[in-house]
Structure 1
C-alpha cells in the first residue's frame, strides 16, 4: 500500500493565499527584467509582490589613501558593516585611488544597529592594523528613494582614524546610502545580506538575472550532386556519400546507388543553428572504399553567414562549391591544376526563418512565433508574475551538520528566462521579485522551477558523493495562459511535486501572484481561428524523426548558450525546465494515458446506463418525455441539429457554475503517481540504455522501451484530442467556451430557419470541392480545436 495515497490529496491541491501585495508603486524600466530593454510596453507598476525595504550602500571609489609604511603600496578594499552583517568589496593592488562601484543591500527586517560603519582596509595590514579609516552613518539620517526618482548622487566622506585618543584624516571615500525597495535598479547586482555567508566566485551565482534564449534557425542543406569525384583507387569509380557537420550535429546522405564520378542525391539535411553564428558548415565527400572503411576525397568549410535567410517558401538559388582535396599533400605547383579540375559539389542552402524552432516539449510550448522578427505580429497581452516566496522546502544538502537549502526560482516564457536571487540557508525563502513578458498567443505555457543552488562553496555535495555538483530540482509549476481570466490577479500557493524512485514527494510550496492583461480582446479572439504554429510547418512539414532530432539539438544549443552567461544557467536546470525527458518510456506514464482514455469513455457508459433505465421505465416520467421527443424528431427531422446545438448551448451555460476558479496544477492521481508499483518506478528511473545485467536482456529491454514510448505518445495524443472535446463546454478556457456556446446558439437559430436540404447540399458541395479550392493550411474549426487546453498540463 502506498503511504502517499488519498490522505495526501488535500496536501497536493492548489491553495488560495492572501499576501499583502504592494499598491501600484512605480519601478525602473530595467529592474528585474520587468520588460524588454527599451520596450514601451513594459508595465509601469510593481504591485504583485510584497514590498521589502533595503538599506542600499553604493561604494564608488576612494582617493588619497595613505600607502603602507613597510611596502609603500596600498591594497585597499572596503568592508561595510551593519550589526552582525559584513560585506566586502574586491581589493586592488598598489592603488591609492581605487574604484569599486559596488552596491550592498541589507534587509530592513534584519537590521540590528542604528549606525552603518564603512571601513577601508589594507589587505597587507589586516593582522597589524584593523583599518586605514572608517565612516559612520546614522541610519536615522538616511533618505528614502522611490523610483522613478533619479538615483541618489554619491558624495565624498572623510576617512577618520580614531585610535589612541586622536583623530586622523586618511583620505576620502565616495558613498551613496539610501533606503529603497526591491524595485530599485540597484537590486539585481547588489550584494545581499540574505546571502552574507557567500564569498568569492559564489557571489556571482546568487544574483537575480534575466536571460534571453539564443535566436535559433533551421539550416536546410539540399545536397544535389557532385562532379569530378576521384578515389585513391583509380581502377574503379567511387561510390560516395556526403557528410555534413554543424557544431556537434552530423548528418549524412544516402550512399549513391551507382559508382560514378558524378553522383546525384537531391537530399535535404536539416540542422539547428544559433545567432551569432559561431559554427561553420563542414562538408566532406566520402568514398566507400571497403565495407568497413570510408575515405575522404574532398572537404570544404563554409561560414553560415554567407547563406540566404528565407522568410517564406520562395525557391533558393543553388551554388557550386569547390572542395579541397583531403590527404593528398597537394604541392604549390599543382594548385592551378587542382583548382581547374577540383571536385565540386552542388548545394542549395538557406537559413529557414519562417518556422518556429521547437526546443521544448510541444505539450508545454511557450512560444509559437517564427524565427524571423519580420514575421512577428503585435503582442495581444502582458503577463506579469510576482514570485513571492516558498514555504516548507525540504533540506537538500547538509552544512555544518544540519540540513539546509539555498533556493532560487527560474521562470521561462518565450525567449525570456528569469532567475531570482538565491536565498541561502532558508526553507522559507522570500524573493518578492516581479517579472513581465509580452504575450503573443494565449495558448502557451509559462514554466517556473525551484532549484537548490549547489555552487556556493562551503557545503557538502548532494548525496555526499564525488563528481561535479549539480543544482538539485525542488519542483516545477506549469500554467497555461488560456486558463487565466484577463485582468485578474491570481494569488495561489502551488505544491512543488517531484517524482522520485521511492514515489511522488511534496518538496514544499511556491507562492505566486499572476496577472494576464489583455491589450486587444479582438486580436486575442482572432488568434483562436488561426494555426497554432507558423504556416511553413503546414506547407512544408517536417517528419516525426526530424522533429525529434531537431528538438534535441535545439535544446542542447540553448543549454550551451545559457551556460555561458554569468551567472550560468546550468544544463540540468534548462533540461528540467524544457521537459526533455517527457517522451521517455515509463510504465507509469503509459498507465496514466490509458486511464485518461478510459475516463473519456465514461460519459458514453453513463449515457448507455441512462438509456437502459429509460427502456426499463425505472422513471416513468422520463421515459414518457423521451418517447415524446423521439416522435417529434422523427416527424420533424429538421429539428434534430437545432436541438443538439441548443442542448450543447444549455449544457455550456449550466457548467459555468462549476468552472475552475484557479489555474490547473499537477494532479498526482491523473499522473498515476500514487498507485505505481515500486518495481515500475525502478524501471522508470533506470538508465537508458538499461544498466541491468545480461546483454540479451539489455537489447530486448531497450527495444521494448523504444517501441512502447512511441505507443505511449500515440495514446497520449488520443487522450489529448478527447480532452479537447470536453474542454469545449468545461470553461477551462473561458474565451474558447464563450465563443463555442455563442456559435452553438447562432447555429441553432440558423439551422432552425434554414431547410435541412439546403444545409445538406451546401455541406456536401463544400466537402467534395475541387483541390484547387482547398488550402494546405488547417481550417478554422481545426485551429480552434487545437487551441483548446488538454489535461496534459496537469501531468507530472
Structure 2
C-alpha cells in the first residue's frame, strides 16, 4: 500500500535576521526520506505567510515512525553570498497523524549550533494518507473462533444432598476470608527465576519469562471419511488425547466427508500423562453413541521439537487406522505435531490445557479509546420565541453528550430574546465519535420548570480540532423544536476539540501517561518498558466448585493506552503465566499497574448461572518507572494485599520481572526539567472540580469501551485498575494522609528540636561547636551557601548505601490497614447511598463532625497567623501599626550605620544564650504579634 506525506507550510512569526536588525527574505527547505522541497521567497518579511502544500512519498510505511522531517529556514541574499540561517525544525515520524486529524501546530525554531541566534516559530500542518490504488495487498482473513471450542466441563452443585450442600456453604464462607499474617509477610521478596535472559538468550523476545514446554497438535483437515449417517454423510469432529489425561476436541462440522478444522491444541508438559498422543475422528450422533471414524497415534519420544524463529512445521497426511473392537475405517487426516514453548506463534490462539479452552481465558491486548476534550463556547442567541411574550425570558443553555455528560450555562444576565453568555462548557469525547452533541435552549418559567425554546444537534465528526489556544471560527446554528423546521431563532457557538491537553483517566497520584491528545505534539519515545508476568503463589480459594475451593486467576496490566490481559489458569493456587509484554515509554515519572483477578465468567460456573457474576479482586501492584535503573532486570515476588471488611488480607504473591531500557540517558534526564503536563494545562488551566468531573467522565468512557471488546475487559476490573473509589470518604485514608503529613514534617521538627537542645546547652560540646561554626559563617558569609549545598551533597552520598534495591510495593503499614478499627472498615465499605440504619449513621456523623472540627480549627489557626502578618501594615489596629512602622524606621537606621556582621553576631549569640539567661515568659516580639487582630472576630 502506497503512502503519501503532506506538509503545508502556513507561516512564520517573529523571525530574527542574522545581526538582530533590519529585515530578511525567508524561505524554507523541506527534507524527508531523501526528498527535498523549497518554498517561495518572501522579500523583506519577518512574519511571512506561504500557505504552500508539499507532497512526499513514503518508501516504507512501516519505518515511517523512525524517519524525521527536517525544515530549515534561510534568508536569501542578493549579492551571491551564502544565505543566512534563521532556524530549523525537526519533526519525528511518530507525531505524524492520518488524514482527518490534521491541525495547524506552532513549532519553535531551534538553533543549528550553540552560537546561532535564532528566534520565532514556524506554523505547519502535517498529515499522511494511504493510497488504496497503489499496489494494495489483499488482507489476510482473520481466524474465526471455533463455534464450539473444546472445553473441559465442570458440573454445578445446585442439586447436591443436604449434607454436601451444607459443606459447600461452609466452603463459600471461607472463600473471601484469609488468615491475618504477620507484618513480615507483607514485604517484597527478591526471587531468582530461571529466565531466558540468564541463559544468554538476550536476543529472544521472551527473555524475561521462564520457558514452558508444550505439546502442540494442529488438526488441519480430513478427506474421504466414511459415511455413517443414513444421508450418506457424517458429522465429524476430532478428539486429541495425551496419555491418561482428559481429551480435547474440535468443533463439529455437519454433513461433511472432507472437513476442515484448522485448530491447534497445546498441552502443558506437566499435564502430559502417558507415552503416546492419540488423535481420533468421530461422527457425532445426537440420538445414540458417536461412531468411530479412525485414529492416529504418536509416540511422544519421537515427536520433533520446534524453536522459533524456525518456520512452522508443515502438516502431513496420515492414514486413519482401525481401533480394536471398531469397524473398518477409511480416509486420511492432515496433522502437524511438535514440541514447542509459549513463544510459538500458534500458542496465543491455541486450545490450552491449563486454561480449559474457554473464550474468556485467552490472553489479549486492549487499547483505551482516544479521548478528547470537547470545548463548547456558548456565545449568544438571537430571535428566540418564548411562549409568553409579555415577560422577560430567563434563558439558559443545556448541553448533553451521550447519556452520562450534561452541563448547563448560567441564566443570561440580559433578560431578552437575544441573551448573551460567552460561557465555556467542557466535555470528554472518545474516538470513534458515536454520540452527537445536543444543545437545548430553555426558558425558566417557574422554580423547577423550564420551557424548551429550541435544540441544536451537532455531529462530532464535523468539529474542528486544535492543538493550541487559537480561536476557531464561530458559527450560527438554527434552532429546531420537536423536529419542526420553522425558524425558532438561532444560537452562536464556537465548538472545537482541544488536543493540547492530556485527558486523564486515572488517579492523579499514579498516572501512566502524560501525553497530549493531539499526536502532532508527541515527542519521541525515551525507551521501552518490558514486563514479564511469571507466576503466582499461595493464592487463597476465591469460590467453590464441585464442593471444594478453587481459584481461576488472570492478570491485567495497564500502562498508557495499552492494557494487557494474561490467560486464565484454571483451578490453580500457584498459576504459571510466563507471558511478556512491552510498552513504549515517553515519560519515566509514570506508573505501571498490575492487578490479579479471579475469573467468574467460565462456562458452567455456578456464580454465572446465579446472575450478576463479577471477577473478584486478588490484589494489585504499582511500579514507578523512575525508581528503576536502566537496563536492569528486577525479579521480585510482590505481596497481593486486599482490604476487606474484616481487615487487610494477603491473598498470595505474584512474581514479576521488570526492565526499563532507555535509548539515551541524556534525553531521560532532560525530562526532569520539563513541565509534567502539556503546556495548555499551564497556559489555560482547568479548575480542580472541573478536572475531577472530566476525569470521572473519562473513566466511564474507557470502562464502557473496554467492556464492549471480545472477550470483554470487565467493568469491575477497569474500575479497580483506575482507582475509581479513591475519592470516597474514609477515616482510614484520613489517618493515612495525617501520618504522611507528620512524616514530611518530621525532618524540620527534628531540626528544630536539635536546635532547641543546642540553645539549652543540653550537650555543651555540640553547642560550642555550633558557636564556632556560626561565627565563621558570619565573618565569611560567602561560605553559607557552599556549606549548605555541600552538607546536602554529603547527606545524599551517605544515603546511597541504604538506597532501595527493589521496586516498592503496596504497604499495609503505610495504608493504616494493619490496625484499622472494624467500624471504620464497615463505614469504608458501605454503599452510596448508605445501607445502614439511622442509629449507625448518627454515630458516624458525630464522629465525622469531630474530625472535621479539628481540621476546621487547624485551618482557622493557620489563616489567623497569616491575617496577623497582614495586619501589621494595614492599620486595622492603628496603635499597633504605629508601633511597628516606628520599629521599622529605627531598625533601618541602626542597620544602616551598623555593620551587618556585628548585628548578626549579637542576634546569634542572643539566640544561643545559656539557659540561666532565659525567661519562660514569651518574648516581646511574640507578645506583640499575638495581639495583632485577625478576621476571626468578624465571623458569625
TM-score (norm: length of structure 1) = 0.81
- CA spacing shift, 1:275–1:7, aligned 2, 3 Å: closer
Task: Go from structure 1 to structure 2 and tell me whether the alpha carbon gap of 1:342 and 1:12 turns closer, same or farther (over 3 Å shift).
Answer: same
Q: Equivalent of 1:180, from 309, 331, 340?
A: 340
Aligned residue among 488, 494, 498 for 1:348:
494
Structure 2 counterpart SS, 1:461: helix
Q: Report what 2:410 is aligned to.
A: 254
Change (3 A) 1:175 1:295: farther
Contact 2:355/2:567 (<8 A) preserved = no
CA distance in 1, matches of 2:652, 2:840: 42
Q: How does 1:569-608 map to 2 (within 5 A)?
A: 569-608=713-752
Does the Cα contact within 8 Å between 2:385 and 2:488 map onto a contact in 1? no
Is 1:448 aligned to 2:594, yes or no?
Answer: yes
What is residue 57 of structure 1 aligned with on the other side? Answer: 217
User: Could you say which residue in structure 2 is the equivalent of 1:111?
Assistant: 272
Structure 2 CA distance for partners of 1:188 and 1:254, relative to 1, 3 Å: same
The C-alpha deviation readout for 1:3-29, integer Å capped at 9, x for no partner, is 9999722110001111111247899xx
Q: Quick one: structure 1 residues 457 and 168, their matched pair in 2 at CA, closer, same or farther if it must change by over 3 Å?
A: closer
Pick aligned residue for 1:643 from 787, 790, 798: 787
SS of 2:330's equivalent in the other structure is strand
8 Å CA contact 1:585–1:709 kept in 2: the answer is: no
Kindly state the Cα deviation for residue 70 of structure 1 after the two structures are TM-superposed: 1.9
Contact 1:319 1:347 in 2 (8 A): yes
Confirm whether residue 324 of structure 1 aligns to residue 480 of structure 2: yes
Q: Secondary structure at the match of 2:321?
A: strand
Describe the shift of the 1:359–1:684 C-alpha distance in structure 2 as closer, same or farther (beyond 3 A): same
Matches within 5 A, 1:667-678: 667-678=811-822
Q: How far does residue 676 in structure 1 lie from its aligned partner after superposition?
A: 1.5
Q: Which one of 49, 57, 80 corresponds to residue 240 of structure 2?
A: 80
Q: Is the 8 A contact 2:285 2:291 kept in 1?
A: no
Structure 1 unmatched ranges of 5 or more: 28-41, 719-755, 758-796
Q: How does 1:275-354 map to 2 (within 5 A)?
A: 275-326=431-482, 330=484, 338=486, 341-354=487-500
Question: Which among 396, 416, 435 is matched to residue 562 of structure 2?
Answer: 416
The aligned counterpart of 1:123 is 284
Partners of 1:165 and 1:419 in 2: CA distance: 45
Pick aligned residue for 2:378 from 216, 219, 223: 223
| Alpha-carbon spacing, 1:289–1:182, altered in 2? closer, same or farther (3 Å) | same
Aligned equivalent of 1:518: 662
CA distance in 2, matches of 1:26, 1:457: 42
8 Å CA contact retained: 2:284, 2:290: no
1:157 paired with 2:301, answer: no
Alignment-derived partner of residue 482 in structure 1: 626
Pick closer, same or farther for the CA change 1:11–1:26 going to 2, 3 Å.
Answer: closer
Asked if the contact 1:205–1:455 (Cα under 8 Å) also holds between the matched residues in 2, the reply is yes
Residue 262 of structure 2, aligned match among 84, 89, 101: 101
SS of residue matched to 1:597: helix
Structure 1 residue 411: Cα displacement:
0.6
Residues 598 and 235 (structure 1), Cα distance of their counterparts in 2 relative to 1, 3 Å cut: same
The Cα offsets for residues 406-429 of structure 1, whole Å up to 9 and x where unpaired, read as: 000111111111111001111100
Question: CA offset at residue 619 of structure 1?
Answer: 4.0
Check the 8 A contact 1:563/1:569 in 2, yes or no: yes
**RMSD after superposition:** 3.1
Contact 1:231 1:237 survives alignment (8 Å): no
1:11 aligns with 2:155: no
Q: How big is the shift at 1:457?
A: 2.9
CA drift of 1:598 comes to 1.3
1:358 to 469, 480, 504: 504
SS in structure 1 of the partner of residue 784 of structure 2: helix
Q: 1:257 to 1:616 in 2, by over 3 A?
A: closer
Aligned to 1:664: 808
Residue of structure 1 equivalent to 2:708: 564
Change (3 A) 1:103 1:412: same
Displacement of 1:119 after TM fit?
2.0
Compared CA separation, residues 589 and 133, structure 1 to 2 (3 A): same
1:140 to 280, 288, 301: 301
Structure 1 159/352 Cα, relative in aligned 2: closer, same or farther at 3 Å?
A: farther
C-alpha change, 1:110 and 1:639, in structure 2 (3 Å) is same
Question: Match for residue 267 of structure 1?
Answer: 423
Q: How big is the shift at 1:616? A: 4.8
Which of 202, 213, 219 lines up with 2:368 in the alignment? Answer: 213
* 8 Å Cα contact 2:180-2:650 kept in structure 1: no
CA offset digits 1:209-252 (Å, max 9, x no partner): 11111111111111111222213334445432222111121111
Whole-angstrom distance in 1 between the partners of 2:443 and 2:656: 60
Contact 1:398/1:459, CA 8 A, preserved across alignment: no
Distance 1:653 1:573 in 2: 43
Matched residues in 2 for 1:322 and 1:703: separation?
A: 55
Q: Tell me, yes or no, if the aligned pair for 2:224 and 2:330 is still in contact at 8 Å.
A: no
Question: In structure 1, how many angstroms separate the alpha carbons of the residues matched to 2:852 and 2:205?
Answer: 50
**Contact 1:226–1:264, Cα closer than 8 Å, also in 2:** yes
**Equivalent position SS for 1:363:** coil
SS at match of 1:605: helix
Bigger CA drift: 81-90 or 49-58?
81-90
What is the CA-CA distance between 1:528 and the residue it aligns to? Answer: 0.2
The CA deviation at 1:189 is 1.6
Mapped to 2, the partners of 1:550 and 1:703 lie a distance apart of: 32
TM-superposed CA distance for 1:459, in Å, is 3.5
Counterpart in the other structure of 2:774: 630
Shift in Å at residue 709 of structure 1? 14
1:195 CA drift (Å): 2.6
Q: Distance in 1 between matches of 2:561 and 2:479?
A: 38
From the superposition, tell whether residues 623 and 233 of structure 1 become closer, same or farther in structure 2 (CA, over 3 Å): closer
Residue range with higher mean Cα deviation, 183-192 or 412-421: 183-192
Aligned 8 A contact 1:79 1:86 in 2: yes
How is 1:733-772 mapped onto 2 (pairs within 5 angstroms)?
none
Q: 1:7 to 1:159 in 2, by over 3 A?
A: closer
Q: Name the SS of the counterpart of 1:691 in structure 2.
A: coil
User: What is the count of residue pairs matched by the alignment?
Assistant: 683
CA contact (8 A) 1:43 1:436 kept: no
Between stretches 79-88 and 360-369, larger displacement belongs to: 79-88
The CA deviation at 1:56 is: 1.3
Query: Does the 8 Å contact 1:689/1:702 carry over to 2?
Result: no
Q: Any idea what SS the aligned residue of 2:720 has?
A: helix
Change (3 A) 1:618 1:191: same
User: 2-side partners of 1:430 and 1:144: how far apart?
Assistant: 22
> 1:6–1:400: structure 2 CA closer, same or farther, 3 Å change rule?
closer
Alignment partner, residue 374 of structure 1 = 520
Change (3 A) 1:438 1:711: farther
CA shift, 1:617, in A, is 4.5
Q: Distance in 1 between matches of 2:387 and 2:199?
A: 76
C-alpha change, 1:246 and 1:62, in structure 2 (3 Å) is farther
Larger C-alpha radius of gyration, 1 or 2?
Answer: 2
Greater CA deviation, 637-646 or 452-461? 452-461
Closer/same/farther in 2, CA of residues 233 and 667 from structure 1, 3 Å limit: same
From the superposition, tell whether residues 43 and 371 of structure 1 become closer, same or farther in structure 2 (CA, over 3 Å).
Answer: farther
Q: CA 1:703 to 1:7, structure 2 compared with 1: closer, same or farther past 3 Å?
A: closer
1:682 CA drift (Å)? 1.2
- Structure-1 separation of matches of 2:313 and 2:830: 57
Q: Is the 8 A contact 1:21 1:47 kept in 2?
A: yes
CA distance in 2 between partners of 1:131 and 1:79 (Å) = 11
1:533-552 matches, within 5 Å, as 533-552=677-696
